[in-house]
Amino acid sequence: MSIQPPASPDRPGGFAALREAEARLSTRLYLKRGVQLVRGEGARVWDSEGREYIDCVSGHGVANLGHAVPEVTAAIAEQAQRLVSCPELFYNDRRGELLALLDAITPPHLTRFFLCNSGTEAVEAAIKFARLATGRLDVLAFMQSFHGKTQGALSLTWTPEYRKPFEPLLLHARFAPFNKPQALAEALTDQTAAAIVEVVQGEGGVRPATTEFLQALQAGCRDRGALLIVDEVQTGFGRTGRLFASEHAGLEPDLVCLAKSLAGGLPMGAVALTEAIDAKLFPRAHSSTFGGNPLACAAAVAAIRYLLDRQLPARAAELGERFLTALRGLKSPLIREVRGLGLLAAIELKARSRDYLEALMEEGVLALAAGPTVIRYLPPLVIEPAQLDLVVEKTAKVLGQPSRA
Ligand code: PLP
């Protein structure tokens, strides 16, 4: 049987035919926007009609380094020609290189690493590790949290719209108010295996945690013998102006979940954990076929080196400050609040954000939602100051006001 593809991007009309095929064949799970992205470079992407956009979606925070980074693509190409798959049944040179790098960049007390393929998988693994290590079942999460959509992670994700249709989920998941240190004494019990927290709640509306809250959470966990899991899936790798967001509050988490930009755009997740937790794991208690594959490891090594060599966390701090200040200077009556840390930034509107996101796209800026009334910006950390200024200008335009007061 010979199967003909519906079209080729290289032939006339090819893009349109392939877009139609995707619209017809993909599930209804994703609410797609009406453009077909085909190419990227730095902080810019292009659609199939040749229109250019400043990309403040960055693949939902994956493209911290921007698109088509020569160092990363070369590492992927080189590894693809050498060895793509190698399960953890065997040692692999690239995996060893990545583990050594993760060991060097994470806090000194985190000395073991589990490799997987996504953020939700990192959260699943962290929950299992915490339960094994403590012998307890309860996991505490926070209101407005987002930790993923597989069944375990979903049970720790606040949004009832995502969670309720699938209940009962993981039993023993509890939610406490975010940023309310006074609520922790009751929320943490001697049955709590772990508390899981985002230093800046991303999907839940870009809400930074206060240092007071995070410190109280850490102290409460220690008091109760519970473990602290910090979900750095969105905040990690420089996004908030530090390599890891937990550094802002001086946290020493027992487990850290990583994913998104870890491998420069290839799918990869990881959990960093302590020696003491690792000592409670047993062979085959958890595993992943693709986890730690050499291709993703090679990409991650190249991506992390690039991030460090160019000091992108510091760049995110500096540009983030400039960006947030400019957004706070906008005088539109539509704006309820501007929030963020580093280059994880958002405007909460007094109206639904969907039409404004569409309008921004018309103006050549891609941004995303974080709840119904939020415009969220996740630009690559390599974005040029002039490009960020243009994002502010276009935002001012769509919110109906001149860019500066
Ligand atoms: N945790 C956080 C904080 C996230 O922002 C996300 C995704 O947005 C996830 C977990 C889930 O990651 P993934 O979509 O890779 O499963």
Q: What is the mean pLDDT of residues 217-230?
A: 98
| Ligand 1 neighbour 292 (Cβ under 6 A) | no
- 180 DSSP assignment: -
**What local confidence, expressed as pLDDT, does residue 404 receive?**
44
Q: Which residue is it, tokens 């550094």?
A: 247
Cβ-based burial of 91 (10 A; exposed 0-12, middle 13-18, buried ≥19): exposed
pLDDT digits (tens, 9 = 90+) for 338-378: 999 999 999 999 999 999 999 999 999 999 999 999 999 99
Q: What is the mean pLDDT of residues 27-45?
A: 96
| Ligand 1 neighbour 240 (Cβ under 6 A) | no
pLDDT digits (tens, 9 = 90+) for 170-208: 878 999 999 999 999 999 999 999 999 999 999 999 999
How remote is the CA of residue 217 from the centroid of ligand 1, in Å? 21
How far apart (Å, rounded) are the C-alpha atoms in residues 315 and 94? Answer: 28
8 Å CB contact between 262 and 90: no
Name residue 45's beta-bridge partners. Answer: 40, 53
Q: Residue 8 above 80 pLDDT?
A: no
Q: Residue 405 above 50 pLDDT?
A: no
Sheet of 173-176: strand order equals 110-116, 269-274, 255-258, 227-231, 192-197, 138-142, 173-176
What lies within 8 Å, CB to CB, of 11 at 6+ separation is: none
Q: Which atom of ligand 1 is nearest to the CA of 60?
A: 8
What are the angstrom distances between the C-alpha of 305 and each of 101, 102, 241, 300, 313?
9, 11, 17, 8, 12
pLDDT digits (tens, 9 = 90+) for 91-110: 999 999 999 999 999 999 99
User: 84-89: long-range contacts at Cβ-Cβ below 8 A with a sequence spacing of 24 or more?
Assistant: 84/293, 84/294, 84/295, 85/290, 85/293, 85/294, 85/295, 86/293, 86/294, 87/289, 88/115, 88/287, 88/288, 88/291, 88/292
How remote is the CA of residue 147 from the centroid of ligand 1, in Å? 5
Q: Is 299 helix (H, G, I), strand (E, B) or coil?
A: helix
| Ligand 1 neighbour 157 (Cβ under 6 A) | no
**What local confidence, expressed as pLDDT, does residue 10 receive?**
75
What mean pLDDT is reported for the chain? 96
Closest CA to 260 of 373, 344, 154: 344
Q: Looking only at Cα atoms, what is the longest distance across the chain? A: 67
Q: What is the mean pLDDT of residues 264-282?
A: 98
Name residue 52's beta-bridge partners. Answer: 46
How remote is the CA of residue 153 from the centroid of ligand 1, in Å? 9
How far apart (Å, rounded) are the C-alpha atoms in residues 69 and 63? Answer: 10
What are the angstrom distances between the C-alpha of 369 and each of 12, 150, 240, 357, 361?
34, 21, 18, 8, 13
How remote is the CA of residue 32 from the centroid of ligand 1, in Å? 19
How far apart (Å, rounded) are the C-alpha atoms in residues 253 and 131? Answer: 16
Rounded to the nearest 10 degrees, what angle do helices 93-105 and 294-309 cross at? 40
Q: Which of 64, 144, 147 to mutate to test the pocket of ligand 1 (most atoms within 8 A of CB)?
A: 147
